[in-house]
């Protein structure tokens, strides 16, 4: 009899543990370089305080992040607008919130960077003819923007691990043209006296949106949304730690409408419901 009671108790413990584990929200994070995901760490404590158990799963490239989300290995993901938009087009995700940076921005666009004295960008794929072009794979301010312009006769297409790495490549003479996030260029351009901006995309893309899987329970999604939208007015130590670490002031509601420009670009780049995240 005692053995049966003990077994039942153990089964109850295991069942409870499994339920707790299943309740954890797995959040994907793009980490191009070691330590990039560290800024998100305080978010776990903040969500825990709000009654939400969460854990992070990192991916070191945009394609890896896309594959991870598409396979259902995470419930949500902080994502570049290219991957987020593609997931929306494929009808496997929807946007939830995005952060507002300390400078008040929450969107970005593609910037065309070359060595000083280079020709101004003419808005056509012809501009890349005979040139070595570098960009981040599957980024709306990288490969997706390039692909959206149509076929070109570039001499070589090079993939960079990050937008900063793309700038480095042009500065070192390894590439002729970099397509990068304008926010990265604005932040880093003082380091590159030999480079200049020669053109940009006129559209705006939501920056670092948290997308959620359509399989995530609505009650959980609503609770997660409420917690993040409340960050701006929250003066707790946990909230302050998130704002300081992520260099943001708050999160704002984000919908598919905010991706209107992004998704128009992605569709020109050939993204559809059957897109497999590679060219």
Tens digits of per-residue pLDDT, 60-116?
888 888 899 989 999 999 999 999 999 999 999 999 999 999 999 999 999 999 999
Query: How do residues 135-170 score in pLDDT, each as one tens digit?
Result: 999 999 999 999 999 999 999 999 999 999 999 999
Percent helix / strand / coil, the chain, rounded to 5 = 45, 25, 30
φ, ψ of residue 19 to 5 degrees: the values are -65, -40
Gyration radius (Cα) of the chain, Å: 21
Three-state secondary structure call for residue 141? coil
Using alpha carbons only, what angle is made at residue 72 by residues 71 and 78, rounded to the nearest 5 degrees? 105
For the cut 70, the answer to whether the pLDDT of residue 2 exceeds it is no
Q: What is the pLDDT of residue 8?
A: 37
pLDDT-derived band at 5 (thresholds 50, 70, 90) equals very low
Tell me if 52 sits within 8 A of 46, measured CB to CB: no
Spacing of C-alpha 45 from chain mean position = 21
What residue ranges do the domains of the chain occupy? 2-101+206-268, 110-200
Look up the CATH superfamily of 110-200: Periplasmic binding protein-like II (3.40.190.10)
Question: How many whole angstroms separate alpha carbon 137 and alpha carbon 40?
Answer: 23
CA neighbours closer than 13 Å in the CB half-sphere of residue 4: 1
Query: How do residues 221-270 score in pLDDT, each as one tens digit?
Result: 999 999 999 999 999 999 999 999 999 999 999 999 999 999 999 999 99
Q: What is the pLDDT of residue 23?
A: 56
Q: What is the pLDDT of residue 32?
A: 66
Torsion angle (degrees, nearest 10) of CA 262, 275, 136, 189:
0
Question: How many whole angstroms separate alpha carbon 152 and alpha carbon 7?
Answer: 68
Q: First-to-last CA distance in the chain?
A: 64
Q: Where is pLDDT greater, at 70 or 1?
A: 70
Q: What is the pLDDT of residue 77?
A: 96
Largest separation between any pair of C-alpha atoms in the chain? 87
Q: What is the pLDDT of residue 225?
A: 98
pLDDT-derived band at 22 (thresholds 50, 70, 90) equals very low
Q: What is the pLDDT of residue 36?
A: 74
- The number of residues making up the chain comes to 279
Selected from 3.30.300.10, 3.40.190.10, 3.40.640.10, 1.10.510.10, the CATH number assigned to the domain covering 2-101+206-268 reads 3.40.190.10
For the cut 80, the answer to whether the pLDDT of residue 38 exceeds it is yes
CA-based nearest residue to 32, from 171, 183, 157, 137: 137
């Amino acid at each position: 009899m005692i053995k049966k009671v003990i077994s039942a108790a153990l089964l109850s413990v295991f069942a409870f543990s499994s339920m707790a584990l299943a309740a954890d929200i797995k959040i994907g994070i793009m980490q191009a370089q070691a330590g990039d995901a560290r800024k998100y760490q305080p978010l776990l404590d903040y969500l825990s305080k709000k009654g939400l158990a969460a854990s992070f799963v990192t991916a070191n490239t945009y394609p890896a992040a896309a594959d991870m989300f598409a396979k259902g290995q995470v419930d949500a993901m902080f994502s570049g607008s290219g991957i987020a938009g593609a997931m929306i087009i494929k009808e496997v995700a929807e946007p939830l919130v995005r952060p507002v940076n300390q400078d008040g921005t929450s969107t970005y666009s593609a910037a065309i960077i070359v060595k000083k004295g280079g020709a101004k960008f003419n808005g056509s794929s012809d501009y890349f003819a005979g040139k070595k072009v570098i960009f981040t794979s599957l980024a709306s301010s990288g490969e997706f923007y390039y692909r959206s312009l149509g076929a070109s006769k570039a001499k070589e297409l090079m993939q960079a691990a990050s937008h900063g790495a793309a700038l480095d490549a042009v500065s070192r003479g390894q590439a002729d043209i970099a397509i990068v996030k304008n926010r990265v260029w604005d932040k880093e351009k003082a380091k590159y006296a030999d480079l200049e901006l020669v053109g940009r995309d006129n559209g705006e893309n939501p920056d670092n949106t948290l997308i959620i899987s359509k399989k995530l329970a609505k009650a959980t999604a609503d609770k997660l949304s409420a917690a993040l939208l409340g960050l701006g007015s929250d003066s707790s130590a946990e909230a302050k730690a998130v704002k300081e670490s992520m260099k943001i002031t708050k999160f704002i509601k984000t919908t598919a409408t905010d991706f209107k420009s992004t998704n128009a670009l992605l569709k020109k780049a050939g993204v559809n419901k059957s897109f497999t995240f590679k060219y």
